[in-house]
A and B are shown apart, each in its own frame.
Chain A
Amino acid sequence: MTPLACYLLVAALMFSIGLAGALTRRNAILVLIGIELMLNAANLNLIAFWRYGPHPEKLTGMIFAIFSIAVAAAEAAVGLGVVSEMHRHAHTTDIYAMDRMKGREVDARNYFIHSAGCGLSHHGDSVADSHCANSCIWRGCALEARQAQSLCDAGDWFDEFCTLTFANCICARSGGMDAWAGGARDS
C-alpha cells in the first residue's frame, strides 16, 4: 500500500461522495456542491501524482491543479448565478422543476394553443387572475390548477411553487412534484 495508492483512494472516495451527492440531492445548489467535491478530488489526484511521480521538479501536477482550482471557481460562480436566476423564475431550486428538456408527449397541439396567452410568471400571485389557469385544462389539470390557486392563497404550498409559467402549465399537487401538465408522470 504505497502512499500514492492511499491518496488515490482518498481521492476516489471523495469523488464518489461528491457524485452521490450530485445524483441524489434535490436541491440544485447541493448538486453544485457535489460537483465541487468531485473537482477537489481530482485536484488531490493531481497533486498526489505530482508528489509521487517521476519528475516533480517539472511542476506539471501542481500547475494543473492550480488551473483546475481557478476554473472550478469560475464555474462555481457562473453555476450559482444560473441557479439564482432559475430560482427567480420558478421560485424553487428543485431540480425536478427543471425538466424543459423532457420529451413532451403528443397533444402538443392542445398544449401550445392553450399556453399561447400565458406568457408571464407570477411570483406569489394567486393563480386565479391568470388565464393560464383557464387554459390549463389539459388532462384534468384544471382541477389541480384550482387547487394550486387555493393553496397559494392560503400560503400553504410546497417548495415555493405556486405559479403557472409560460408554455408550461404546471399543476402541482402537495405531496410531491409528480403531477405535471401534459400528464407527464415521473418514472
Chain B
Amino acid sequence: MAYEEREVRAMSFIFYVLTALTVAGALAAVLLKNTVHCALALSVAFTGMALLFLNLDAQFAGFAQFMVYVGAVAILVVFAILLTKGSETPTGGVFSRTWLMGLVIAAGVFAVLGWAVMGSMKALPQLTAVPQVTVLQIGNALVGRYVLPLEIVAVLLTAAMIGAVIVALHERSEVAKEGQK
C-alpha cells in the first residue's frame, strides 16, 4: 500500500545509536559480576533512556528522568551497594542455579510483548505532528487536571521519606548496640 510505504520510513540513525546505548547499558547492568559496575552501567542505561525521551520530544520527561534517575536513584543504588559490601566478589556465584528458567521466562515475556506489538501494528496510530510542549503547560496540567495524583504522590513521597528515616533510626540503635559489644 502506498499509504503504508509513505508512513514506513527508516528510523533515524540517532534512534539506533541511542537504542544500542540503552540496551547495552541494561545488559551490562544485569550481567556484570561486580555490583558497582552494574550500578554504573545502570546509570548509562538511564542516560540512554533520557536521551530517548528527548528524541521523542518529551523534553521535560527526559530531563526529569535524567535528574531523578541518574542523579538520585543511581547514586542511591551505589550507596546501597557500598553499605552492603556488595563490592566484594561473591564466592557463591552471582546467578541463581536456575538462571536458565528465569531467562526463558523473560524471553517468553518479550515474545508475548513483541507479538502483541507486531500483531497490532495496523491498529497503532499513525504519524502525528510534533507536539509543542512548554513547561508552563505541564505546570498547568499538574495543578489543574492532575492535581489529585500530584497530591497523592506528594503523600507517597512523604511516607517514603519517613520510612527511610525510621529505617535509619533503627540502624542507629543497632549500631549503638553493636558498639557496646
Contact = CB atoms under 8 A, between A and B. Distances in A.
A–B contact, 8 Å CB criterion (strictly below)? yes
Interface in A131-187: 158-160, 175-177, 186
A88 B19 CA distance: 38
A159 B84 CA distance: 11
Given A5-B117, A33-B38, A88-B174, A62 B138 contact: yes
A84 B128 CA distance: 47
B11 A13 contact: no
Contact of B72 (A23, A52, A73, A75): A73
A8 interface: yes
A19 B86 contact: no
B77 A76 contact: yes
A152 B138 CA distance: 58
Contacts of B118: 5
Interface in A1-59: 1-10, 12-21, 23-27, 29-30, 32-34, 36-37, 40, 43-44, 47-48, 50-54, 56-57, 59
A15 B128 CA distance: 26
Given A12-B114, A17-B23, A82-B167, A59 B61 contact: no
B156 A2 contact: no
Contacts of A21: 29-30
Nearest to A48: B56
Contact of A14 (B22, B79, B95): B22
A81 B169 CA distance: 11
Interface of B: 7-8, 11, 15, 19, 22-23, 26-27, 29-30, 35, 38-39, 42, 45-46, 49, 52-53, 56-58, 60-61, 64-65, 68-69, 72-73, 76-77, 79-81, 83-86, 90-97, 99, 101-103, 105-107, 109-110, 113-114, 117-118, 121, 124-128, 131, 133, 137-138, 141-142, 146, 149-150, 153, 156-157, 159-161, 163-164, 167-168, 170-171, 174, 178
29 contacts: A2-B121, A6-B11, A16-B113, A17-B106, A25-B96, A26-B92, A33-B77, A36-B77, A37-B45, A44-B52, A47-B61, A51-B57, A56-B131, A57-B131, A62-B60, A63-B146, A69-B68, A69-B69, A70-B153, A73-B73, A74-B157, A75-B160, A77-B164, A80-B79, A85-B167, A93-B84, A123-B178, A158-B92, A175-B92
